[in-house]
Amino acid sequence: MTTCIREATPQDTSAISSLVSHLTGKMISPLHIENRLHNMRDNPDELLYVYEEKNRILGTLSFRIRRDQTAHNVTFSEISVISFNEDPDSNQAPLEQLRSYAEQLASDHNCSGMMWLTDIESTDKSRSAQSPIGFHETGYRFVKRFL
């Protein structure tokens, strides 16, 4: 099965728009996605990735770097799976692949740790079952320290 995680491009706007619209039930314009990608190009600390399987976008991953220059020059990465649509025929664990990829990105950017953002629904269902391995819960964020 051919899967890849790669940086989103302007050619992905229609597919991302359709995916997010389908999963949220709210119409998201491809122009909105294109504008978001354009704004991200001006900010090197903010990136959007797509999870692609069989040339079909099944999910998106937002990666942001947060810098705290005031205290100890600490840098954290902030990760959120914006949308995800698992293929029932897939034998792989895409969400785990996205987490591993995000950890590698955080390491590549010399981050001190990672914040995995979640929504209220996923944290309320079963907090212990939803916590990513190695993270601890802090409100609606799961934090994993590397140092």
Residue 69's pLDDT is what? 66
Residue 128's pLDDT is what? 41
Residue 87's pLDDT is what? 57
Residue 49's pLDDT is what? 93
pTM value?
A: 0.74
Is the pLDDT reported for residue 16 higher than 90? yes
Compute the distance between CA of residue 83 and CA of residue 77 in angstroms, rounded to an integer: 18
Query: Can you give 60-129 as a three-state secondary structure string?
Result: EEEEEEEEECCCCCEEEEEEEEEEECCCCCCCCCHHHHHHHHHHHHHHHCCCCEEEEECCHHHHHHCHHH
Average pLDDT, the chain: 76
Is the model more confident about 131 or about 57? 57
Read off φ and ψ for residue 120, nearest 5 degrees. Answer: -60, -45
Residue 20's pLDDT is what? 85
Share of the chain above pLDDT 70, in %: 67
Residue 85's pLDDT is what? 63
pLDDT digits (tens, 9 = 90+) for 63-77: 888 877 676 667 778
Dihedral sign computed on CA atoms, order 9, 1, 90, 135: negative
pLDDT digits (tens, 9 = 90+) for 80-134: 876 666 656 554 467 778 888 888 998 898 888 888 775 434 434 443 445 555 5
